[in-house]
Structure 1
Amino acid sequence: MHDTKFGHGSTVGRLMAQAARRFGSRTALISGDLAWTFAEFDAIADRLAAGLAERLSPGSRVALMMRNCADYLFLQAAIERAGLVRVPINALATAHDVELIVKDCTPGAFFHDEAAAARIPIRDGLWRASVDGGAAACGPSYAELLSAGRAVGMGEEPNLDDLASINYTSGSSGRPKGVMLNHRNWAAVYRNMLIDRDIRADDVVAHIGPLTHASGTYFVPWFLRGAANVLVEGGSIEGLLETIERHGVTVFTCVPTMLTRIVNHPRVGDFDLSTLRMIGYGAEPIPRNTLARALDLFGPILVQNYGLTEAMMTCTTLPPEHHFDAAGNPRFGAIGRPYTFVEIVLRDEAGNPVPNGEIGEITVRSDHVTEGYWGMPEATAAVLRDGWLWSGDLARMGEDGILSLVGRSKDMLISGGFNIYPQEIESALTSCADIVEAAVIGVPDPAWGEIAVGYVSLAAGSARRADDILAEIKPRLGIRTPKRIEILEHLPKNGNGKVDKKALRAGAAMEAS
Structure 2
Amino acid sequence: MTGASRSRDPGGNDPRGGVAPRSLRVSNLAHLVTRQGRRLAARPALIWGARQWSWGEFDARVSAMAAALVSRYGVIKGDRILVQSVNCNQMFEAMFACFRIGAVYVPTNYRQTPDEVAYLARASGATGIICHASFPHHAQACLSGDNPPAFAIAIGTAPFGEDYDALVEAHLGQSVPNAPVERDDPCWFFFTSGTTGRPKAAVLTHGQMAFVATNHLCDLMPDTNHRDVSLVVAPLSHGAGVHQLAQVAAGATTVLLPSERFDPVEVWGLVERYRVSNMFTVPTIVKRLVEHPSVDAFDHASLRYVIYAGAPMYRADQKKAMEKLAGRLVQYFGLGEVTGNITVLPPYDHVDDGEGARIGTCGFERTGIEISIQDEAGNELPPKTDGEICVTGPAVFAGYYDNPEANAKAFRNGWFRTGDLGHMDEAGYLFITGRASDMYISGGSNIYPREIEEKILAHPAISEACVVGVPDSDWGEVGIAVLVADPARSVSETEIRAFLEPAIARYKMPKRFHFVDEMPKSAYGKITKALVRDTLARSGLLGAPASA
Normalising TM by the smaller chain, what interval? 0.7 to 0.9
Letter in 2 for 1:216: G
**Pairing 1:366-405 to 2, within 5 Å after superposition:** 366-405=393-432
- Report the counterpart of residue 132 of structure 1 in structure 2: 156
**Pairing 1:267-416 to 2, within 5 Å after superposition:** 267-324=294-351, 327-328=354-355, 330-411=357-438
Task: Output the CA distance in 2 between the equivalents of 1:410 and 1:229.
Answer: 36
**1:203–1:155: structure 2 CA closer, same or farther, 3 Å change rule?**
closer
2:63 is aligned with 1:46: yes
Task: Output the CA distance in 1 between the equivalents of 2:353 and 2:49.
Answer: 44
Q: Percent identity?
A: 29
Shift of 1:409: 1.3
**Corresponding pairs, count:** 445
Letter in 1 for 2:263: I
2:282 is aligned with 1:255: yes
**Pairing 1:202-213 to 2, within 5 Å after superposition:** 202-213=227-238
Tell me, yes or no, if the aligned pair for 1:250 and 1:275 is still in contact at 8 Å.
yes
Task: Output the CA distance in 2 between the equivalents of 1:343 and 1:486.
Answer: 37
Tell me, yes or no, if the aligned pair for 2:193 and 2:200 is still in contact at 8 Å.
yes
- Report the counterpart of residue 37 of structure 1 in structure 2: 54
Tell me, yes or no, if the aligned pair for 2:311 and 2:476 is still in contact at 8 Å.
no
**1:43–1:412: structure 2 CA closer, same or farther, 3 Å change rule?**
closer
Tell me, yes or no, if the aligned pair for 1:454 and 1:486 is still in contact at 8 Å.
no
- Report the counterpart of residue 166 of structure 2 in structure 1: 144
Tell me, yes or no, if the aligned pair for 2:280 and 2:308 is still in contact at 8 Å.
yes
Shift of 1:335: 1.2
Q: Deviations over 1:256-282 (max 9, x none)?
A: 121122223243332222222211000
Tell me, yes or no, if the aligned pair for 1:237 and 1:261 is still in contact at 8 Å.
no
- Report the counterpart of residue 183 of structure 1 in structure 2: 206
Tell me, yes or no, if the aligned pair for 1:263 and 1:290 is still in contact at 8 Å.
no
For 1:217, which of 242, 262, 280 is the aligned residue?
A: 242
- Report the counterpart of residue 449 of structure 2 in structure 1: none
**1:452–1:442: structure 2 CA closer, same or farther, 3 Å change rule?**
farther
SS at match of 2:97: helix
- Report the counterpart of residue 464 of structure 2 in structure 1: none
Task: Output the CA distance in 1 between the equivalents of 2:177 and 2:305.
Answer: 39
Q: Deviations over 1:345-380 (max 9, x none)?
A: 111111111110111211111122112111111011
Task: Output the CA distance in 1 between the equivalents of 2:309 and 2:229.
Answer: 20
SS at match of 2:196: coil
- Report the counterpart of residue 547 of structure 2 in structure 1: 490
Tell me, yes or no, if the aligned pair for 2:389 and 2:423 is still in contact at 8 Å.
no
Shift of 1:248: 1.6
Letter in 2 for 1:79: C
- Report the counterpart of residue 13 of structure 2 in structure 1: none
SS at match of 1:179: strand
SS at match of 1:241: helix
Shift of 1:332: 3.2
Shift of 1:247: 1.4
Letter in 1 for 2:69: L
Shift of 1:15: 3.0
2:86 is aligned with 1:74: no
Letter in 1 for 2:58: F
- Report the counterpart of residue 12 of structure 1 in structure 2: 29
Shift of 1:482: 9.5
SS at match of 1:245: helix
For 2:520, which of 422, 445, 459 is the aligned residue?
A: 445
Deviates more, 1:188-197 or 1:201-210: 188-197
Tell me, yes or no, if the aligned pair for 2:153 and 2:163 is still in contact at 8 Å.
yes
2:102 is aligned with 1:83: yes
Task: Output the CA distance in 1 between the equivalents of 2:88 and 2:28.
Answer: 24
Shift of 1:49: 1.5
Structure 2's unaligned 5+ residue stretches are: 1-23, 441-467, 483-518
Tell me, yes or no, if the aligned pair for 1:169 and 1:176 is still in contact at 8 Å.
yes
**1:161–1:53: structure 2 CA closer, same or farther, 3 Å change rule?**
farther
TM-score, normalised with respect to structure 2: 0.75
Tell me, yes or no, if the aligned pair for 1:441 and 1:452 is still in contact at 8 Å.
no
Shift of 1:295: 0.4
- Report the counterpart of residue 169 of structure 1 in structure 2: 192
SS at match of 2:190: strand
Tell me, yes or no, if the aligned pair for 1:395 and 1:406 is still in contact at 8 Å.
yes
Q: Deviations over 1:465-500 (max 9, x none)?
A: x9xxx9xxxxxxxxxx99643635625xxxxxxxxx
For 1:264, which of 272, 281, 291 is the aligned residue?
A: 291
SS at match of 1:394: strand
Tell me, yes or no, if the aligned pair for 1:127 and 1:136 is still in contact at 8 Å.
no
SS at match of 2:299: coil
Shift of 1:58: 1.5
SS at match of 2:59: helix
Shift of 1:300: 2.4
Letter in 1 for 2:321: A
Deviates more, 1:160-169 or 1:59-68: 160-169
Task: Output the CA distance in 1 between the equivalents of 2:534 and 2:113.
Answer: 28
Q: Deviations over 1:272-308 (max 9, x none)?
A: 2222221100011112221011001221210001110
**1:408–1:50: structure 2 CA closer, same or farther, 3 Å change rule?**
same
Tell me, yes or no, if the aligned pair for 2:220 and 2:307 is still in contact at 8 Å.
no
SS at match of 1:234: coil
Tell me, yes or no, if the aligned pair for 1:452 and 1:482 is still in contact at 8 Å.
no
Q: Deviations over 1:428-457 (max 9, x none)?
A: x86xxxx885558897635996347499xx
SS at match of 1:244: helix
- Report the counterpart of residue 107 of structure 1 in structure 2: 126
Structure 1's unaligned 5+ residue stretches are: 1-6, 414-421, 456-465, 471-480, 492-513
